[in-house]
Structure 1
Amino acid sequence: MDEQDRRTTIIGAAERLLSRGGVEAVSMRNVAAEAGVSLRLVQYYGKSKNELLTTVLRAMSERSVQHWQQALASTQGEAGAPLRTFFEAALPLDEQSRAFHRLGVSLEQLSVSDPDGMGAVYRDHLRRLADSLAPHTMATGTAATERAYEIMSLSHGLGSLISTGAITPQQARTIASDYLDRYTTIAAPGADPTPH
C-alpha cells in the first residue's frame, strides 16, 4: 500500500466512525482498528484526535467541493436547473447521503467548539462551496454570494430536518421546489433576487 492509499484508508475509517457514531466514536485506536492498520500509522497522519479530524475535514472538503463543481457544471437547460440539482444532491435521501450529512454535522459541531482551528478549515470549505454555487444564482457580485449562502442554509436545514424525522424527504423536496420556483421568477433579469 503506497502513501496515498494509506492516507485514504485512514481518512475513510475516521469518516465511517464519525458518520456512524459522531465525534465520540473517533479515537486513534478506533480509527486504527477500523482501518486495519497500526496505531503508529494513524498517529503519522495526526498526532492527536483533533489533528486527525482536521485532516479528515480537509479531505472531505476537497472531495465535496470537487463533487459540487462537477455536478453544477453538468447542468444546463431551464433557469434554476443547477440549483435544483444542488438541492437534490444535498438532501440526505439514501444511506450514502445520510451518512455524508451526519459526517458534515459532526465536523460542523467540532468547528463550533474550535473556531480558530477546525472552524477556520470549515469556514474555508463553506466559502469554496459558496464560490462554486454563486455563478448559478442568477445574481451578481456580493448578492450572488449572499444567495449562495442562503441556498446552502436551506439545503442544510432541510437535511437536518429529514435526518431527525421532522419532515419526510418528499416534504423537503416540495419545500425546495417551491423555494426555487419563487426564486427563479423573482431572480429574472432586473428583478430583486431575494425570494419573499
Structure 2
Amino acid sequence: MPRLIDHDARRAELAEAVWRVLARDGVAAVSVRNVAAEAGVSAGSLRHVLPTKSLLLAAAMELVVERATARFGTHPRDLETRADAVALLSEMLPLDDERRLEMRTHLALSAETANDPALAELRRAPDDGVRTGCRVVLELARAQGRLRRGLDLDAETLRLHVLVDGVALHLLGGLLDAETARTLLEEHLARLWVRSGPRS
C-alpha cells in the first residue's frame, strides 16, 4: 500500500530547514540545494514542493505567521492583570530559539524584497500580524474595562506596535534581556490602564 504523505508537515519541515540555513549562513545561502541538504532530502524532491528561492522564503515566512498565530491563540482572553496582557504581547517577541529564528526569517525576507518585489506582500504578513495582535490585546482590555476612557485605539495600537517591534529588535541584538523587555511593555500598558480598579 503506498505511503501517504502529509504535505503540510513536509512543507513545515522544509520551511524549518530554511529557518536554520538563514540563521546560520544568511539569506544569500538559501537555495534549493542548501535547503535540501539541511532538510536531508534530495534537491529533486524539494523542487517538486518549493522549486525556487522565492518560494522557499515564502514558505518560511508563512510558517512564522502560522506558528506565532497558534501561540497567541493558546492564551486565555481574560486579562485579569497587565501581566496577562504582557504575556500575550510577549508571544510576538524573540524570547526563545524558535522565536529568534522566526524573527531572523522575517528580517531576511524584508531585506530580500528589494531584490524580489513579488515577496513584498508576504513580507507585510508578519507586520500585519503584530499590529493585529496589539489591537486584539487593547480591544480585550477595553471590553473588560481595563483601559482608561477616551483612548484612541487606532493611535494606541500604532504606539504599541512600534514599541513591540523596537523591543523585539533590541532583544534579538542582545541589547535587552527578557525581564527588561517585559517591564517596558508593562510600564507602557500602565499608562493606558485604569488606576482606580479594573472596571471603574
TM-score tier, shorter chain, comes to 0.7 to 0.9
What CA deviation, in whole Å up to 9, does each residue of 1:69-111 have, x standing for no partner? Answer: 333xx14242545531133333333333323322222223234
TM-score for the superposition, normalised by structure 1: 0.76
- Between the aligned partners of 1:84 and 1:30, the Cα distance in structure 2 is 38
Say what the alpha-carbon RMSD is for the aligned residues. Answer: 2.9
Q: Percent identity?
A: 25
Contact 1:80 1:137 (8 Å CA) reproduced: no
| Displacement of 1:37 | 0.6
2:105 matched residue in structure 1: 103
2:94 matched residue in structure 1: 92
Change (3 A) 1:58 1:101: closer
Aligned residue type for 1:99: L
Q: Which runs of 5+ in 1 are unaligned?
A: 190-196
1:134 matched residue in structure 2: 135
Determine whether 1:36 maps to 2:28.
no
| Residue correspondences, number | 183
Contact 2:94 2:100 (8 Å CA) reproduced: yes
Answer 1 or 2: which has greater helix percent. 1
Moved more, 27-36 or 8-17: 8-17
1:4 matched residue in structure 2: 8
> SS at the partner of 1:41?
helix
What CA deviation, in whole Å up to 9, does each residue of 1:155-175 have, x standing for no partner? Answer: 221121122222333332222
Moved more, 50-59 or 80-89: 80-89
- Between the aligned partners of 1:75 and 1:97, the Cα distance in structure 2 is 22
TM-score for the superposition, normalised by structure 2: 0.74
- Between the aligned partners of 2:81 and 2:116, the Cα distance in structure 1 is 37
Q: Which runs of 5+ in 2 are unaligned?
A: 144-151
| Displacement of 1:181 | 1.1
Aligned residue type for 2:36: A
